[in-house]
Structure 1
Amino acid sequence: MTSTFTNPPGPAPSAGTAPPAALATEVTKVYGSGDAAVHALRGVTVGFARGAFTAIMGPSGSGKSTLMHCLAGLDTVGGGRIMLGDAEITGMNDRQLTLLRRERIGFVFQAFNLLPTLTAEQNILLPSQLAGRKPDRAWFDQVIDVVGLRDRLDHRPNELSGGQQQRVACARALVSRPEVIFADEPTGNLDSSSSAEVLGFLRTSVREMGQTIVMVTHDPVAASYADRVVFLRDGAIVTELHGPTPDTVLDRLKSLGG
């Protein structure tokens, strides 16, 4: 089965239109072999427009995290192609993928992945330092104030709550202004107020700064901050939703058995 969805409808692209920020074409992924084989992705084709906020949803085991990991170069594909802008990442070696992820991609995962010996500020600025980029201090200050970390910058991860550690991870992804931010349950460990603040800033970064965000989530409220929601079931994209609300997302999930 092949599933094909592209970008939201709009004006016909001109000859000079930039390619999608990320694009999967006929992507397959199988774990295991023989009777134990699990077909995580089944010929998925989907594009993610630049300057847009897309959520990926589906029932447990639908392939949503696998798709994001393949798009981000964190996992290999069994077949098909993955493009990040004009770069085909499915043909890259480990060193090339490492540089790509460091210089062009931002990540936020439910596991915070913070270095325990570094302060919050040092963790946030680490990707920029590794890429040899000088941070934009005005943007850094804006990120810090929105996610509420001003009085925690000199604290190490073990001195922060789980929610505060996730805010550090969000700020780390945003501060370098990557081409794409891949977020896996980015507010999963935050209370409702902090979640709304972080999601609101992600939304603002898309609308005002042109950031591109691809987010896996199970939360209809979080998905409602996106421009578009793509739904997977059994390794294939089965539908999508534009201009989502919590209620329309929940209704669509219920129809999928999620």
Structure 2
Amino acid sequence: MTMTTDVRQAVTARGLTKVYGQGDAAVHALRGIEVGFATGAFTAIMGPSGSGKSTLMHCLAGLDTVSGGEIHIGDVEITKLTDKQLTLLRRERIGFVFQAFNLLPTLTAEQNIRLPLEIAGRQADQVLFDRVIDTVGLGDRLGHRPTQLSGGQQQRVAVARALISKPQVIFADEPTGNLDSRSGAEVLSFLRRSVRELGQTIVMVTHDPVAASYADRVIFLRDGLLVNELHQPTAQTVLDTLLKLEA
């Protein structure tokens, strides 16, 4: 499976391999992945347990080293960066949304959202801040601390925090894993709105066909290989594809 080259890619991987361990104990988690993620698109990564989907995300985001191949975020080849350069790139160009909301309990929602910019010594673009708050629907919750918010509201704070620094790409790792179906649907709707209205690029790992159906495209891994993809997916087409992979 090859990358499409007719649209600008926010993230690309070429010949990506990842091996854990050595000799007979070696585990080949990724086996020559070639994939691109278009700018301004919402892509989901799926596959059976042990398929390599989380490993792929961690490598793409510079959270894990690769055994071979190249990863580019925009025009920067991150596989050649030092640890210090990689830390700076993650701060400047990448947003993260995790299953655990990772909010600081002593800070208000607004302070949590602004925190990455403060750490980087940057001022929030107030127009963007207002648009992000509107997109995730948190206008009446900015003064609340995490314990005063529902799980869905906390995850929306985490999404806003990722959006506010205008990253080239947001990596979302099972972002609805700790949420009930209604709260999960809210968060996924806000992720999709951020792509449509803010031009954000999102790459999401999920095991949930309903969550994946919010994406523009779903790629499927099995045994460290990219084996299929769907465009304009529905929960049913995702589920059917997964069932074939697990057969």
TM range (shorter): over 0.9
Q: CA deviation at 1:117?
A: 3.1
Aligned partner (choices 220, 223, 234) of residue 245 of structure 1: 234
CA–CA distance in 2 between the matches of 1:117 and 1:35? 48
The superposition leaves residues 7-38 of structure 1 with CA deviations (integer Å, 9 ceiling, x where unpaired) of: 3xxxx74xxx74x1001110111112233221
Contact persistence 1:170–1:186 (CA under 8 A)? no
Structure 2 CA distance for partners of 1:257 and 1:118, relative to 1, 3 Å: same
Contact in 1 for aligned 2:94/2:168 (Cα 8 Å): yes
The alpha-carbon deviation at position 161 of structure 1 amounts to 4.0
Q: Calculate the TM-score normalised by the size of structure 1.
A: 0.88
Separation in structure 1 between the aligned mates of residue 23 and residue 145 of structure 2, nearest angstrom: 47
- Conserved? CA contact 2:152–2:187, under 8 Å: no
Q: What is the alpha-carbon distance in structure 2 between the residues aligned to residue 190 and residue 73 of structure 1? A: 27
Question: What is the letter of the counterpart of residue 73 of structure 2?
Answer: L
Aligned to 2:99: 110
How high is the TM-score relative to the length of structure 2?
0.92
Aligned to 2:33: 44
Residue of structure 2 in register with 1:152 after alignment:
141
In structure 2, C-alpha distance between the alignment counterparts of 1:79 and 1:59, rounded to whole Å: 23
- Identical residues among aligned pairs (%): 74
The offset of 1:83, in angstroms, is: 0.4
Distance 1:142 1:220 in 2: 29
Secondary structure at 1:115 match in 2: coil
* TM alignment of 1:154-233, pairs within 5 A: 154-233=143-222
C-alpha displacement at 1:120, in angstroms?
2.0
SS in 2 for 1:132: coil
1:126-145, aligned counterparts within 5 Å? 126-145=115-134
Report the AA paired with residue 65 of structure 1: S
Q: Is the 8 A contact 1:146 1:198 kept in 2?
A: no
Contact in 1 for aligned 2:11/2:36 (Cα 8 Å):
yes
- The one-character-per-residue Cα deviations of 1:77-113 (angstroms, maximum 9, x if unpaired) are 0011110010000011111111111111110010222
Q: C-alpha separation between the residues in 2 aligned to 1:182 and 1:90?
A: 17
Report the Cα distance in structure 2 between the residues aligned to 1:200 and 1:166, rounded to whole angstroms. Answer: 12
Contact 1:5 1:237 in 2 (8 A): no
Matches within 5 A, 1:9-158: 13=6, 18=8, 20-158=9-147
The structure 2 residue matched to 1:5, chosen from 2, 6, 31, is: 2
Shift of 1:159: 4.3
Letter in 2 for 1:139: L
Question: Could you list the per-position Cα deviations for residues 205-226 of structure 1 after superposition, in whole angstroms to 9, with x for gaps in the alignment?
Answer: 2123221110101111111111
Q: Which runs of 5+ in 2 are unaligned?
A: none
In 1, Cα distance between equivalents of 2:148 and 2:2: 44
> How many angstroms apart in 1 are the aligned matches of 2:136 and 2:40?
21
- For the aligned residues, what is the CA RMSD? 1.9
Do the aligned residues in 2 keep the contact of 1:166 with 1:189 (CA within 8 Å)? no
C-alpha distance in structure 1 between counterparts of 2:192 and 2:150, whole Å: 24
Structure 1 residues not aligned, in runs of 5+: none
CA drift of 1:42 comes to 0.7
